[in-house]
A and B are shown apart, each in its own frame.
Chain A
Amino acid sequence: MSVMTGRSLHDALLSVMADFRLRRELPAAELGEQEAAVLARVDADRLSRMARFLTRHYYRERLVRLYSHSAALARRRGLEPSEILDGPDLAEDLDTALLGSAATADRVAARIEEWFRRAYEEKGGPAYWPDLTRYEGAMFRTEAGRRVWTAGAAPQGTRPPRRSASARVVAFDIDVPALATRLEKLAPGDPVPWAVPRSPTRLLFTLSPRGILRVVRSNDALEGFLKLVDGSRSTEMIVECCGMDRSSAGAALRSLIDIGAIEE
């Protein structure tokens, strides 16, 4: 049995704050025997309240930051998006969350998008609103990818490169980044653009190892390159297969690693 330290106990505390299953079960095998025993003596009601508080903060901050344009459209129609977090369905999702997981992000994003879909149907709005919400949802889901917190924890680069789980390509009917830029420049009271020309756009959403969300324009060449990076081909094989010269292929690979589209 390893000796409990302040660090090991705090790791266990953070783990139960972030993970509903660990909080409910307090498994000694995962948290440490002494650590689990200390946590079992904590006032369970206070532990739950703090976990709920942290969880709501976690997703509220992302709702405000990542769904800002859909939220602004809703507010112009007299709706307050922060009420999403007070709904009974989402409350249950939040109480059983694993903070930062793709599954929880997907569940929460689906609830948020359902709320915006109903707002659009009931109150109306520009035809691009659903695409805008999907764009924001892609950012929300991508940001749930795993982060590397310290340089010492970085992957070692011994496996063939592979496309990272959080990277995704999403197709839209309009140029959403251009629209988002227009919306960001609006002052309160400015009219919201109503008609946006159709302009099919594919976007690659990635999360860098340091947790920086990136959205870049995608195309057939980029997606073809990403298909080659499947975890079975070595860097050398990818460079040979992609049809680019060595220098360009190496640079492309490095940029995609930097933005988190590819893991080493």
Chain B
Amino acid sequence: MTQDRISVGSFYNPHIARETLEIGHLIDHLSMADPPRADDPYFERVRGSFTLLLHDFIGQLSEPVDEQAVSRARDLIARYRSPWAAEHLQRVHTTDGRHAVDYVFPPIYTEDLLADYIANARALREALGLPLAIEPIPTWLSLDIAHLSEAEFLHRFYEASGCDFLLDVAHEVISARSAGRDAREFIADLPLHRVTEIHVAGTSLDPVLQDDWIGVEPPGPEILDLMMFAAERAPRLAAVTYDAFSRALSAATQERAVRAMRERLGIWK
């Protein structure tokens, strides 16, 4: 993966590993959300065929990262030969660990949590000794308190932590809609100069949420337009990833997604 060319990739979904290898001409990199199983028959070929990116391996950076987690991350980085690591800007369990939601959930953008995220992300980045890209999570619930805007929080977070910005376009579309704002304007306010990786995914109506959420489908025209909008404003952009990690993902959907991304980016191997 070099800085003069944008890498186009997907997530490693072991149930479609064989088909992923077959479309190697469309995929440069794979993000690794879970370590491969010991008996994964395809992983060594996958490792030899694609750049692998460590993704979402800690939990939440509002708390200090302990040495055991850092050591595990270092092992995975060495195994994947990952050029950078990525983590979510999320908060999924309470401080005392009594309650957890076990799914991506955003923090509240307040001064005290900003200070904690900065300190812990900086410490993790330094401990890992390689670039660390942080991916914000959609805010769907709003609380009636004084807090920072997502844009202000992110500008200050990336500046002070030295981390890179992993921009998930679908996440920001959901956050923008929930805040009653235009998605393009919302994204334009974000620190795009720090973006090194972009995630794109499809969105669809979730019947429980009764609103759009990230789905296992190719990115639609709006997401692809916004991907281009962000990419054109991200001078450090190195990778664009189709963000679908699910057993519900089919090989055909993955192929349609990466073809659509390449088409819009004008990047072919």
Instruction: Report A's interface with B, CB cutoff 8 A.
Output: 5-7, 9-11, 13-15, 17-19, 38-39, 41-42, 46-47, 49-50, 52-54, 56-58, 61, 64, 99-100, 146-153, 184, 210
Please classify the interface of chain A as helix (H, G, I), strand (E, B), loop, or mixed, using the class held by over half of its residues.
helix
Does B110 count as interface, using CB distance less than 8 angstroms?
Answer: yes
A-B contact pairs, 25 of them (CB 8 A): A5-B110, A6-B109, A6-B111, A11-B95, A14-B99, A17-B105, A38-B143, A42-B142, A42-B143, A46-B140, A46-B141, A47-B141, A49-B208, A50-B141, A53-B209, A58-B103, A99-B101, A100-B102, A146-B97, A147-B97, A147-B100, A150-B64, A150-B97, A151-B66, A152-B64
> Would A149 and B93 be within 8 Å (CB), given that A13-B143, A18-B101 are in contact?
yes
User: Which 10 pairs from chain A and chain B are nearest by CB?
Assistant: A6-B110, A151-B66, A18-B99, A149-B97, A6-B113, A11-B94, A41-B144, A15-B99, A53-B209, A5-B112
Instruction: Determine which residue in A47, A64, A150, A184 has the highest number of CB atoms from chain B within 10 A of its CB, and name it.
Output: A150
Q: How far is the CB of A146 from chain B (nearest CB, A)?
A: 8
Q: Which A residue's beta carbon lies closest to that of B99?
A: A18
Residues of chain A within 8 A of B145, CB atoms compared: 9, 38
Is A14 touching B63 in the complex (CB atoms < 8 A)? Answer: no
A6–B106 Cα gap in the complex (Å)? 12
A13–B92 Cα gap in the complex (Å)? 10
Q: How far is the CB of A57 from chain B (nearest CB, A)?
A: 5
Does B232 count as interface, using CB distance less than 8 angstroms?
Answer: no
Q: Which B residue's beta carbon lies closest to that of A98?
A: B99
Residues of chain B within 8 A of A13, CB atoms compared: 108, 141, 143
Is A153 touching B97 in the complex (CB atoms < 8 A)? Answer: yes
Is A10 touching B247 in the complex (CB atoms < 8 A)? Answer: no
The number of residues on chain B lying at the interface, defined by a beta carbon within 8 Å of a beta carbon of chain A, is 44
Residues of chain A within 8 A of B96, CB atoms compared: 11, 153
Q: How far is the CB of B71 from chain A (nearest CB, A)?
A: 11
Q: Which B residue's beta carbon lies closest to that of A82?
A: B248
A7–B213 Cα gap in the complex (Å)? 26
A47–B100 Cα gap in the complex (Å)? 16
Would you list which residues of chain B between 54 and 70 have a CB under 8 Å from chain A? Answer: 59, 62-64, 66-68
Instruction: Report B's interface with A, CB cutoff 8 A.
Output: 39, 59, 62-64, 66-68, 91-103, 105, 107-113, 116, 140-145, 147, 206, 208-211, 213, 247
Known: A47-B141, A53-B209. 19 other contacts (CB 8 A): A5-B110, A6-B110, A6-B113, A7-B110, A9-B110, A10-B62, A10-B108, A10-B113, A13-B141, A15-B94, A15-B99, A42-B142, A46-B140, A49-B209, A50-B141, A58-B102, A58-B103, A99-B99, A147-B100
Is A49 touching B210 in the complex (CB atoms < 8 A)? Answer: yes
Instruction: Determine which residue in A9, A46, A53 has the highest number of CB atoms from chain B within 10 A of its CB, and name it.
Output: A53
A6–B92 Cα gap in the complex (Å)? 14
Q: How far is the CB of B55 from chain A (nearest CB, A)?
A: 17
Is A149 touching B63 in the complex (CB atoms < 8 A)? Answer: yes
